[in-house]
Chain A
């Protein structure tokens, strides 16, 4: 009963390096999300994918790209990491039932430090 799985759990990058955060869900959900969590700022939406084949910008998309690889997987890429991207990143998934937004399920997070 894995739910939403994120890899890696921890990562340290140097400024300018690139990396991809991976996310997979096994609940057959159509929608997937990437959030970042910073102290005092709650969770802010970076990108989301309402369904396979679509992606949309959220509140803070600059410096990130995403790929909805298939229904299960949604990756987040930092092309040139900056210290301002030091954060905890959460992936989530959800499903509409009869057009009602049910709850989002979250992964355990990736703690990223950019030095």
Chain B
């Protein structure tokens, strides 16, 4: 069975500092990879996705992620965070040949002034 692990449930970071949110997955088939952001009392909004091609993908709001097939990871990074980046971030995989999207348990990013 496929699964997604986000080991860090909470990540505090000071404004303008860099941040990395970790995501690892397990799957016996190839996967498509996604990062979503959820602001309080809202739905999920796509940050970025990896479907094929370059393993470094860029998304909205200055975020980027790198797909590492050998380490089965898809970590999210931002070189300089803002207060407005405070939110919960979810990593998701969709195994090839299925219709499912499997989510991690989320990481709460809190940006401190």
Q: Which residues of A line the B interface, CB within 8 A?
A: 4, 31, 33, 35, 40-45, 48, 50, 58, 90, 92, 94, 96, 100-109
Question: Given that A43-B90, A103-B49, A108-B43 are contacting pairs, would A58 and B100 also be in contact in the complex, using a CB cutoff of 8 Å?
Answer: yes
User: What's the tally of chain B residues with a CB closer than 8 Å to chain A?
Assistant: 28
Instruction: For residue A23, give the distance in angstroms from its CB to the closest CB of chain B.
Output: 12
CA distance A45 to B51 in the complex (A): 21
Task: Give B26-51 as 1s and 0s: 1 = Cβ < 8 Å from A's Cβ atoms.
Answer: 00000010101000011111100101
**Docked CA distance A105–B98 (Å):** 17
List 16 other contacts, CB 8 Å, given A48-B99, A104-B94, A106-B45: A33-B101, A40-B9, A42-B103, A43-B90, A45-B100, A50-B99, A58-B100, A90-B43, A92-B44, A94-B99, A94-B101, A96-B99, A101-B51, A102-B51, A106-B36, A109-B41
Complex Cα spacing A44 to B99, Å: 14
Cβ < 8 Å to A, chain B residues 56-103: 90, 92, 94, 96, 98-103
